[in-house]
Amino acid sequence: MVITFKPIGVIRTPFREIGGMPIQPGGAGGTKGEVEVRPEFCDGLKDLDGFSHIILIYHFHLSEGYSLRVKPFLDDAIRGLFSTRAPRRPNPIGLSIVELERVEGCKMHVRGIDVIDGTPLLDIKPFVPDFDAPDVSRMGWLASRVEKLREIRSDDRFGSK
């Protein structure tokens, strides 16, 4: 089976290199970016400005290959890929929940972005806490490391080989 995605736009951020980037939106602080939607998809942005946060789904276009065991940014131990948010995956798809400041035509202004400039956008969904933020009782190996999120920055371990 072949699955094909057509980018609907591009994500613009101040991050030009993988090294030094925030590793999750929570580590991005107030970093601003723009999401440019292709003109043929612009009409789909109608009513989105009523939401404070949106989910961006994108292609990790700079990641190549994958390993099922990785050393994640927030740990020194080797972990199973699917217990991490590492970008080098069998299907290199990422997601970020960002604050939507405003929509202007085919452009969305966002805050809290952790994506490299030029990333292909695959989809946008409104963030709805009642749908998307269940009560969580376990966070696995990350539970004791989440507080480090704002301190840790990306390096090249998950870039192109």
Q: One-letter amino acid identity for 109?
A: H
Which pLDDT does position 27 carry in this prediction?
A: 63
Burial of 100 (0-12, 13-18, 19+ CB in 10 A): buried
Q: Give me the DSSP letters along 115-147.
A: --TTEEEEEEEE--HHHH-------GGGTTTGG
CA–CA gap between residue 63 and residue 54 (Å, rounded):
24
Contact between residue 119 and residue 51 where contact means Cβ atoms under 8 Å apart: no
Cα dihedral 74, 95, 54, 106 sign:
positive
Angstrom CA distances, 150 to 26, 84, 116, 147, stand at: 7, 17, 17, 7
Superfamily of domain 9-128+136-146: YaeB-like (2.40.30.70)
pLDDT digit string, tens, across residues 21-65: 776 666 667 889 999 999 999 999 999 999 999 999 999 998 889
CA distances from 59 to 29, 68, 106, 149 (A): 22, 19, 20, 22
* pTM strictly above 0.95: no
The single-letter code of the amino acid at 61 is H
Q: The tokens of 29 are what?
A: 């602080």
pLDDT (tens, 9 = 90+) of the chain, 161 residues, equals 999 999 999 999 999 987 777 766 666 678 899 999 999 999 999 999 999 999 999 999 988 899 899 887 767 889 899 988 788 899 999 999 999 999 999 999 999 999 999 999 999 999 998 888 767 666 666 666 555 544 555 555 555 54
Task: Give 77's DSSP letter.
Answer: S
